[in-house]
Amino acid sequence: MVLFPPAKINLGLHVLGKRPDGFHALESIFLPLAWTDILEVVVDPHVEAGDMKATFTGLPIPGASDDNLVVKAHRILTQQHDLPGLHLHLRKNLPMGGGMGGGSSDGTFALRAIKDVCDLGLSRETLLAHAAELGSDCPFFVDSAPALVTGRGEHVAPLEFGLLLDGVWVVVANPGIHISTAEAFSGLKPEDRTTPWKRLSTTPLAQWHTLIQNDFESGAVERHPAIGDLLHALREAGAAYVQMTGSGSTVFGLFQDETRARTAGTSCGAQFVGPLSV
């Protein structure tokens, strides 16, 4: 079975007060992109039952393979199911440490692939629970559909309103800067507030900045001016809305004209340019 774990972008990312469990409460709209890794999972008779051979190509993945979320996904399922020997191969295309959710997407899609290959018959609710074990962003990728994400990322609600994004193009650029979670939160001052998310459905793109922001962005730009340079370049190229996504360092611009988007993608060294189909 071959699946294509997608990247995501955040529309707004608001960090609220700390929860009783020590995590910060977050609010954000997550949107999937047609920019993906490639994940293949097959039953392998040469691998012992209950084990999984994991291989990786594409962009180098730092850290031990046992810490990779695709391996952790297999570990979670082996605790409750007798699995055959499996071979998982991940072709890594999405940048790491860039706020695109690629690792979370890979881990969640590994859960989905193993479920189907091994015919486990897991419900959506069970998949969501397993995804929450993997990480805060993971439950979103169970459905990979536009959603309002709250809590520490485990509460995923389909949007109850439409976004006026027909014909909108997204340009995504990564400056090659890795921002750790600890760095992202350093110096951040969470602020409890209420965001009128539904008003995005009736507000022109060029005015979205009056409603939402990425709370991590100003600190990231201060520490890494290259991020601010990319945001400025996208804005100057005609983007109606620009923002850093996640905890950084990837930025994106939303364009209402394909030609401008493609021109901006070339001038900014973008890694992805495409229609935002939501």
Inside any domain, residue 184: yes
- Are 145 and 32 in contact, with CB atoms under 8 Å apart? yes
Same domain, 154 and 267: no
Span 268-276, average pLDDT: 94
**What's the pLDDT score for residue 190?**
85
Residue 64 is predicted with a pLDDT of 81
Q: What is the pLDDT of residues 24-82, one digit of tens each?
A: 789 999 999 999 999 999 999 999 999 999 999 999 988 888 889 999 999 999 999 99
Cβ pair 97, 180 in contact under 8 A: yes
Amino acid identity of residue 274, one-letter, is: G
Q: Active-site residues: which are they?
A: 8, 137
Element (DSSP H or E) covering residue 117: helix 102-117
Q: What is the pLDDT of residue 156?
A: 94
Task: Show the tokens assigned to 243.
Answer: 């923002």
Q: Write the pLDDT tens digit of every residue in 100-139.
A: 999 999 999 999 999 999 999 999 999 999 999 999 889 9
Identify each DSSP E strand in the chain by its residue range: 2-3, 6-18, 24-36, 38-43, 52-58, 86-92, 147-151, 155-158, 169-173, 241-244, 251-255, 272-275
Euclidean distance between CA atoms 128 and 203, whole angstroms = 32
**One domain for residues 151 and 16:** yes
Confidence of residue 152 (pLDDT cuts 50, 70, 90): confident
Q: What pLDDT, in 10s, does the model give residues 193-231?
A: 899 999 999 999 999 999 999 999 999 999 999 999 999
Please tell me whether residues 117 and 232 are part of one structural domain. no
The structural domain count of the chain equals 2
CATH number for 111: 3.30.230.10
Q: Are residues 9 and 121 in the same domain?
A: yes
Confidence of residue 278 (pLDDT cuts 50, 70, 90): low
**Distance (Å, whole) CA 72 – CA 59:** 20
- Note down the domain range covering 175: 169-275
Distance CA 155, CA 157 (A): 7
pLDDT tens digits, one per residue of 154-207: 899 999 888 888 899 999 999 988 888 888 888 788 888 899 999 999 999 999
Q: Which residue has the tokens 């955040």?
A: 10
- Cα separation, 97 vs 152, whole angstroms: 18
Torsion sign, CA atoms 45, 50, 53, 58: positive
- CA 80: distance to chain centroid? 27
- Same domain? For 116 and 213 the reply is no
Based on the fold, state whether residues 110 and 175 are members of the same structural domain: no
Asked if residues 27 and 150 have their Cβ atoms less than 8 Å apart, the reply is yes
> Are residues 84 and 132 both part of a single domain?
yes
* Stretch 9-33: mean pLDDT: 89
Output the six-digit token pair for 73: 């996904």
Give me the amino acid identity at 45.
Answer: P
Beta bridge partner(s), residue 148:
29, 157
The pLDDT mean for the chain works out to 93
Instruction: State whether 102 and 177 are in the same domain.
Output: no
Give the pLDDT confidence score for residue 97 in this predicted structure.
73
